[in-house]
Amino acid sequence: MGLYLGWVCIATVANGAAVLADIGWSGFDRFAETWAVIGLIVAAAAGVILAVLGRGRFAPTAALAWGLAWVAAARGADRA
């Protein structure tokens, strides 16, 4: 269950960003990069909270790190 929990956290952030981009949300006139960083901070904070509350369980945090790595890889591929 830990892997699913970690993956759902990152998928929620990524899908939320996709929905907002699809509807053309302007982000209160802030830069898209700022909102991207905020989303990543929220996902990373969820990983820290899951690690602390889970008493060091590795699976949720590993799944979050894996998801964040794939988000970074996708963003890097878009820029290349």
| Residue-level pLDDT at 29 | 66
Task: Give residue 8's domain range.
Answer: 2-79
Tokens of 63: 């799944």
| Residue-level pLDDT at 78 | 67
Confidence at 79, pLDDT banded by 50, 70, 90: low
Q: Is residue 43 a contact partner of residue 10, using CB atoms and an 8 Å limit?
A: yes
Give residue-wise pLDDT tens across range 11-56: 888 888 788 878 887 776 667 777 778 888 888 888 788 888 877 7
pTM over 0.85: no
How many domains does one find in the chain? Answer: 1
